[in-house]
Structure 1
Amino acid sequence: MSAAPGRDDPALAELVAASARIGADPLLVQAAGGNTSIKLGGAMWIKASGQWLADAARQDVMVPVDFVALRAAYGEGGDVENAKRFLIGGGVLRPSIETAMHAMMPHRVVLHVHCVATIATAVRADAEARLAGALAGLDWGFVPYVRPGQPLADGVMARPGHAIYVFGNHGLTVGAETVEGAVALIETVRARLAAAARPLAPADDAALARAAAGSGYEAAPPEIATLGADPASLAVARAGSLYPDHVIFLGPGVPERVETGAPLVLVPGAGALLRRDASASARAMARCIADVARLVPAGAALSVLSADEEAALLGWEAEAYRKTLQRPAS
């Protein structure tokens, strides 16, 4: 790693430690999702694309970016989605897909998470109205769903200056001058949006065994199987794709036939199956959709990604790259 500004700054070490804690909480971050950054001197240190925040304390997952140059290019109407050209000192890793959004926010510290409690609200058809009540008194803004990357940065810049952003069908971003302050904002929003999760519905082990017979599938663990066993959660899964990382790592929607070869397959009324060779990322995303679904009230109207929005994610080279870095199943 180059001797970029801030490399030895204690504030970067503080961000790394907080990133590892955030990344270890599956109700905040799943697999390689989420990203964190801090601006130190002329460098913005940000999580590299495809890396896991949970690994931040044991391996180098942060890369330095010339955020001043990126801001200038953005201001001139340039395409800043490929942020690798703004890397300081070069290197193999790419900056996060969300580098532009982090750079354009004025805050010293920016944290972006896929908070399950936030997503469970952000996928509701009336998300913005619900947020207005839950987040009253906080400095927040709502960005309706747009593709991650530069479109999301554009969405933030259309509503500049907030300390908290909820992204429709996506997640939560906060900005503050300190790591501690940013983490506190995440916890405040999570507490405001907290809801009681439905209990895990018991799986029908015999039915799952029959459905998996002769295939490359196995019964999912209880925290995932509930997605197919609980009628209300099943209805959420059947509604469609709810957020980007689901599409990237599990494919559109959640199929109900093993012939699809999808990482996660539902067996309605019985539970769910996982491919035996499903990656760690796919397993984390399967857990995420089950966790989100348990928080969505039965019968709630949902906003789902369109076929065109799914296609835009599946055909995006930046996401294809991130997917190549996913871990095998442990």
Structure 2
Amino acid sequence: MKTPTDFDVFRTLSAQLGQNRLRVQGPGGNTSLKDGSVMWIKASGTELAQAEEADIFLAVDRAAALAEAHGKSGDGSCKATVLDPSCTLRPSIETTFHAALDWPVVAHTHSIATLAHAVSPEGLDAARDKLSGLPCVCVPYAKPGLPLTREILARIDPRTQVIILANHGLVVCGADVQATSDLMEDVEARLALPAHDTAHKPDSTPPTGFDWADESWIARDATALRLVTGGSYYPDHVVFLGPALPRSDHAGNPPAIVIEGEGVALRDGATPSQKAMLRCLSDLMARLPDDWTPQPIGTAAEAELLNWDAEKYRQALAARA
């Protein structure tokens, strides 16, 4: 299918976002480009980092995806909106909100700077102040896909270009690729927070079947240890690492465990996506101000993600990478 004239620069921006671990981790995040009645959207389970070297984008019927966004047809998965009947990939689980946002370019990231603000009430208040003057709204946490799309639609207006997703990430919209990139850089600069030192490698022997992770500083920081073992703060942590971080191994074979006072142990054979999500957790914890109170998404939200077919599909694809 013929691609739009700015498809190459769109792919370049997508790849740059995917290759920056402070913007996107593993198969997280997604971008879209509208071209008349067609919308190009990242396929579920693929990585933005590979946008220039692999065919990770699908062409979907935007009107059909918009109908699913408004609950007029389909189930919100947008599988039926893919224009190439021979394609075996699924569109991103976020396709409905991309279709619903009436801007030519939409970029959704799991920005660390945004997450650091978006996981606590104090952080969200600070983000509103820092982004003053921009066409921005904050949206409460909702399950990715159609529930999140509905929350977005309830709060945006035609001028909205920046969306802070509580316990999830950032959405930036623009009239073209360059305008979207420039706006995202502005948002990132406004929300940037300093990271404290995270250098620590345990001297002790890790548990059998594990090796010490570079993120082991978490086990020696009382605040970080309490937070990471007390809940999950964004969807992809649950999808790829399971709920919170356990303090010991168990029959569920968690990819990583945290041993207080020693380190974070990463299971032998952990996938690239699991490693990326552990880095994400470390990057987030290293930037949280001491006087902010992060709120986990909760056990009910975790259960929704763990039992969701769309996320099991994404996990399976990521495991093959």
- The alpha carbon displacement at 1:72 in A equals 3.3
Alignment partners' CA distance in 2, 1:231 and 1:251 = 21
Residue 277 of structure 2 corresponds to residue 285 of structure 1: yes
Task: Show CA shifts across 1:29-68 (max 9, x none).
Answer: 0000000000012110000000000011111000001011
Which 10-residue stretch deviates more, 118-127 or 38-47? 118-127
Aligned residues of 1:232 and 1:299 also touching (Cα < 8 A): no
- Please report how far the alpha carbon of residue 186 of structure 1 lies from its aligned counterpart in structure 2 after TM superposition: 1.6
**Structure 1: unaligned runs, 5 residues or longer:** none
CA contact (8 A) 1:201 1:229 kept: no
Q: Which amino acid aligns with 1:217?
A: F
Quote the residue 1:150 is aligned against. Answer: 146
4+ residue runs of structure 1 moved beyond 3 angstroms? 72-80
Please report the TM-score for the alignment, with normalisation by the length of structure 1: 0.92
User: Equivalents in 2 of 1:143, 1:159: separation in Å?
Assistant: 7
Q: Mapping of 1:3-152 within 5 angstroms?
A: 3=1, 7-75=2-70, 77-90=72-85, 91-152=87-148
Instruction: Indicate the residue corresponding to 1:218 in structure 2.
Output: 211
CA distance in 2, matches of 1:254, 1:167: 23
Identity of aligned residues (%): 36
What is the CA deviation profile of residues 182-229 of structure 1, one whole-angstrom value per residue up to 9, with x for unaligned ones?
Answer: 1112211111111111111423322xx1x41xx2111112xx112223
Contact 1:239/1:302 (<8 A) preserved:
no
| 1:243 corresponds to 2:241 | no
Contact 2:69 / 2:97 at 8 angstroms: preserved in 1? no
State whether residues 139 and 152 of structure 2, in contact with CA within 8 Å, keep that contact through their aligned partners in structure 1.
yes
2: distance between equivalents of 1:160 and 1:270?
46
Instruction: Give the deviation of 1:288 after TM superposition.
Output: 0.3
Which residue number corresponds to residue 222 of structure 2? 231
The residue identity in structure 2 corresponding to 1:134 is K
Report the alpha carbon displacement of residue 76 of structure 1 after superposing the two structures with TM.
5.5
Find the residue that maps to 1:326 and give its secondary structure: helix
Corresponding residue for 2:192?
Answer: 194
- In structure 2, what residue type is equivalent to 1:216? G
Give the structure 2 partner of residue 302 of structure 1.
294
CA contact (8 A) 1:127 1:168 kept: no
Tell me how far apart the structure 2 counterparts of residues 8 and 139 of structure 1 sit (CA, whole Å): 30
Could you tell me how far apart the structure 2 residues matched to 1:72 and 1:112 are? 21
CA distance in 1: counterparts of 2:248 and 2:68, whole angstroms: 47
Aligned partners of 1:39 and 1:45 also within 8 Å:
yes
CA distance in 2, matches of 1:262, 1:38: 37
Counterparts of 2:209 and 2:186 in 1: how far apart (Å)?
43
1:232-273: per-residue Cα shift (whole Å, max 9, x none)?
Answer: 322321331000000000000001112352111111122211
3-state SS of the aligned residue for 2:170? strand
Contact 1:201-1:230 within 8 A present in 2 as well:
no
**CA-CA distance at 1:328 after TM superposition:** 5.6
Other-structure match for 2:156: 160
Q: Give the Å deviation of 1:127.
A: 3.5
How many Å separate the matches in 1 of 2:78 and 2:23? 25
Partner of 1:177: 175
1:322 aligns with 2:314: yes
Name the amino acid aligned to 1:269: G
CA contact (8 A) 1:203 1:229 kept: no
DSSP 3-state at the match of 2:180: helix
How many aligned residue pairs are there? 317
TM-score normalised to the size of structure 2? 0.95
Contact preservation (8 Å) 2:228, 2:244: yes
CA separation of 1:269 and 1:85: change in aligned 2, threshold 3 A: same
SS at match of 2:188: helix
Secondary structure, aligned partner of 2:58? strand
